[in-house]
Structure 1
Amino acid sequence: MSRTDTAVGVIRLTEDQLDPYVTHAPTRHRLTGPGLPSDGALLTFTALRTRGLRTVAQSTDADDPDLPTELRDRLVIGELLAPAGMDPESILLDGGTGEISTAYLFELMDSRPLAPSLEVLVRFATVTEELADLRGQFASYAGRHGTKAAAEASRRLLALFEEGTDGRVPPYWKAAALIRPLALAAGPGTDSGLTLDVPARLLDEEFGHGRVARYEDVDFPSTLTHEPTRRFLRETGLPEQTVLFRLDTEVPLQTLAEYAADDRPGTASPFELPARADHLIRLGHLVEDNSLVVDGATGEVLNWSEPEARLYPLNTDVSTLAFTLWLHHRERTIDRALSHELSTEAYDQLAATMLQVLTSIDPTATATTTAADWHYWTQAFQDEPGGVL
């Protein structure tokens, strides 16, 4: 077992505990001296705290003929924290070289590089957490928002990662540097009355001015009474079409009850409707027979599943909906500029990063995913066969 300094949350091992697993001198010094943080926002070393050092072979089926030889003796020291519903990757240590990699213990066919050493791993995790909290090396970004601030923070974080890897940044950290700073693009909703203040130019610059729809008061059903939502749809608007969403632009906005009647002429109610269907305004279409609706009284954005005849939470309001659509489009643009490096080399790590950014700006996404309930964006971002990211 490891010994933990509970006062500072540090895990340290004794020299005897390292034998015969760890022969790399700098790694031995790190584990017996400074140690490792017991928990963090990105990594956890619970495996060391509860079980001590164990090899991959000891942690899995040692007789499995499919277990790669090069992984058998690597040491399982922790996990990458993953959003609810996603399997965590184990963090592996090469006791002879000190190199750190990741792998899924339930399908040990390959591993991916994470850091050249424990020291670099801890440093990378620390600066990434500083970005999320806008402290330490990123304290100067507190109160700054917009695409310029996001781009500057991204370049700064990527440069820090390049310093520790001779320019060969592992996919997990490259995704962190390119995606996590995007949370800075919109500020808290001090003016809009919504969760976020999303500048109209943010959507115009990303999707094109002619591809963002804005509404007039005559377009709103009488039951859309939530004024911050009305103002956002008038002044900021929503993109007409993305990979996962298509706005209704051919007809004025309808309530879900009106849509149900009009979409299939001659049928008063083609599918079971939820309560207050005349207060749910349909904004558009999500793939696989899902409608995106907004509660006219509260501004809450919901996913209406026609096959299930069920409402699911989607976004807190139209500001976080717009940001989600922007975030997804921006990620695809970034990945395309990298010749799809992120989505082909580490799709799962990219999906986890996207979801962590989304939950950092939208309380609904956080509440839904932690409750392990079904959530449209959570499921969509993980759809690797569908190439959503």
Structure 2
Amino acid sequence: MSTTDIAGTVGTAVITLTEDDLDPYVTHAPTRRWLSGPGLPADGDLLSFDALRTDGLRTVGDSMGDPDQLAAELRDRLVIGGILGADGRETDSVLLDGATGEISTTYFLHDRPDLMDTRPLAPSLEKLVRFATAADELAALRGQFASYAGRLGPQAVAEASRQLLALFEEGTDGDPGPFWKMTAVIRPLSLVAGPGTTSGLALDLPPRLLDEAFGPGRIARFEEVDFPSTLTHEPTRRFLRETGLPEDGYWFSLDTDVPLPTLAEYEAICATEREDGITAAHLPAGADRLIRLGHLLEDTSLLIDGTTGAVLCWSEPDTTLRPLNADVSTLAFTLWLINREKSLATIHALTDAYDQLAETMSRTLATADPIACDPTPSTPSDDGWRYWPGVFGDEARKQAADMIKA
């Protein structure tokens, strides 16, 4: 096995295997030629083949240590890499059938190997590399997707999605499977908004994007009387007045009945209504400039820093303040993204692989708002947990638990 950089080119480091490496695992002739010739990319945004560099070819059975509890079709599949999550760590493992050349995925359940199964990923290594390259080029707006640089809005989303889906369908007889379908319909959603040049915020959203997605009657727009004096960040004030936010949706809800309170004011009111209210000593520093917009799940407040416009979440159970979004523009994008995903998931049956859908959502969100998914602690008490990737993952775990019970 070797890793080679092709002279005079950029980003073409590949992992190749020798004939001795392939014996006796791979008998499929085209697959042997691919692994000993073009090879697999050493670096990628979506897939990693580090398993080959560190361990060489190994079977699922060898990886588990106790193959007897595995389904027969899984035991001899070869572990060649993994799908990368938004945080850069491997999630599902990528498997190769050495006899047919087909590629699938599995998730290792070391405590319940009898529940492990496979999902089809690609009919061949050639198709796998081509699909992953297209997804990487879309993310970086280069190669076949270079023309989308600077093109934003729903039309750009629709065209990029059609182009990607057509590529995947061409290589799979019209049925690319859930993973590539969600890549084609979810990942291009990041093209709907571009870097903020007129709003003074992280993103410039297309006009009426939220109204068209949620319905005009469900968008809350605020008036000056609703703002506390500590909300001094003018781009945030303007966005809340003119664009607004959805009143409620999946995993969030705005408070629109009263003028927006600071976190200190809100918790003071709560303290008079319940015995276990948070005291001033438990509040984060600057609680008088943190303005409460509404709430998320599990006793978590949705906040805006009135000075900087940063959007944060405050968890009452563990009294921890964490970043949520860069600002209200990326918060609005997140809510639109979730709303759009729910519609697309129904059309394309994406929830058949909800764990992969959760990672695809996190990757798409991270493209538009890295802060929302970056686990780097921002304060001494910040544990790196991030709300949006967390709720995406919780939903996936709920789906998996339901499957095990069934």
Query: Shorter-chain-normalised TM-score: which range?
Result: over 0.9
Residues 158-169 of structure 1 mapped to structure 2, 5 A cutoff: 158-169=165-176
State the secondary structure of the residue aligned to 2:298.
coil
Q: Are the structure 2 counterparts of residues 47 and 24 from structure 1 closer, same or farther at C-alpha, using a change threshold of 3 Å?
A: same
d(CA) in 2 for partners of 1:370, 1:90: 28
- Conservation of the 8 A alpha-carbon contact between 1:84 and 1:369: no
Alignment of 1:61-100 (within 5 A): 61=65, 63-84=66-87, 88-100=91-103
Quote the Cα distance in structure 2 between the aligned partners of 1:170 and 1:31: 24
Tell me which of 323, 332, 337 is aligned to 1:322.
332
Equivalent residue number for residue 289 of structure 1: 299
Give the SS at the match of 1:377.
helix
Q: Give the aligned residue type for 1:382.
A: G
Distance in 2 between residues matched to 1:33 and 1:302, nearest whole Å: 50
Q: Please tell me the root mean square deviation across aligned C-alpha atoms, in Å.
A: 1.9
Task: Give yes or no for contact 1:83–1:369 (8 Å, CA) kept in 2.
Answer: no
Match of 1:55 in 2: 59
Correspondence for 2:211: 204
Q: Which residue of 1 aligns with 2:32?
A: 28
Give the SS at the match of 1:355.
Answer: helix
For 1:89-238, list aligned pairs within 5 A.
89-107=92-110, 108=113, 109-238=116-245
Displacement, 1:264?
A: 4.8
The residue correspondences of 1:278-357 to structure 2 (distance < 5 A) are 278-338=288-348, 341-343=349-351, 345-357=352-364
Q: Residue 34 and residue 266 in structure 1: after superposition, are their counterparts in 2 closer, same or farther (change >3 A)?
A: closer
Task: Return 5+ residue gaps in structure 2 as ranges.
Answer: 7-11, 400-406
Q: CA deviation at 1:82?
A: 1.4
Q: Which residue of 1 aligns with 2:403?
A: none
Contact 1:260 1:269 in 2 (8 A): no
TM-score for both structures, normalised by structure 2: 0.90
Where does residue 5 of structure 1 map in the other structure? 4
* 1:105 positional shift: 2.7
| Counterpart amino acid of residue 260 in structure 2 | L
Q: Percent same amino acid among aligned pairs?
A: 64
Partner residue in 2 for 1:18? 22
Relative distance call for 1:266 and 1:358 in structure 2 (3 A) is: closer
What residue identity is the alignment partner of 1:335? A
Shift of 1:25: 1.0
Residue 12 of structure 1 contacts residue 34 of structure 1 at CA under 8 Å; is this kept in 2? yes
**Distance (Å, rounded) in 2 between the aligned partners of 1:127 and 1:266:** 55
Offset at 1:266?
6.1
Identify if the C-alpha distance between structure 1 residues 81 and 299 changes in structure 2 by more than 3 Å, giving closer, same or farther: same
Report deviation, 1:370.
9.0
Deviations 1:53-72 (A, max 9, x none): 111122221x3431111111
Contact kept? 1:369, 1:378, Cα under 8 Å: no
State the SS of the aligned residue for 1:250. coil
Moved over 4 A (4+): 266-269, 369-372
| Alpha-carbon distance in structure 2 between the residues aligned to 1:214 and 1:231 | 10
Q: Give the TM-score taking structure 1 as reference length.
A: 0.94
**Contact in 1 for aligned 2:362/2:373 (Cα 8 Å):** no
* Residue number in structure 1 paired with 2:393: 382
Task: Read off the aligned partner of 1:342 and give its amino acid letter.
Answer: L
> Does the aligned pair in 2 maintain the 1:200–1:237 contact within 8 Å?
no
Q: Per the alignment, in what secondary structure is the counterpart of residue 374 of structure 2?
A: helix
Query: Unaligned 5+ residue runs, structure 1?
Result: none
Equivalent AA in structure 2 for residue 88 of structure 1: T
Shift, 1:319, TM fit: 0.6
Q: C-alpha distance in 2, partners of 1:151/1:13? A: 40
Change in Cα spacing, 1:304 to 1:355, as seen in structure 2 (3 Å) is same
- Give the conservation status (yes or no) of the 8 Å contact 1:200–1:235: no
Q: How many angstroms does 1:263 deviate by? A: 3.6
Query: Cα distance, 1:213 vs. partner?
Result: 0.7
User: Secondary structure, in 3 states, of the residue corresponding to 1:278?
Assistant: coil
Residue identity matched to 1:288: E
1:116 and 1:280 mapped to 2: Cα distance? Answer: 52
> What does the per-residue CA deviation read over 1:101-125, in whole Å, with 9 as the maximum and x for residues that have no partner?
0112335420110000000000000
Amino acid across the alignment from 1:124: F
Range moving further from structure 2, 195-204 or 181-190: 195-204
| Pairwise CA distance, 1:84 | 3.2
What is the deviation of 1:47? 1.2
CA distance, structure 2, for counterparts of residue 120 and residue 266 of structure 1: 61
Distance 2:375 2:161 in 1: 28
Change (3 A) 1:328 1:141: same
- 1:265 deviates by 3.8
Shift of 1:18: 1.1
Mapped contact 1:145–1:185 kept (Cα < 8 A)? yes
Any idea what SS the aligned residue of 2:339 has? helix
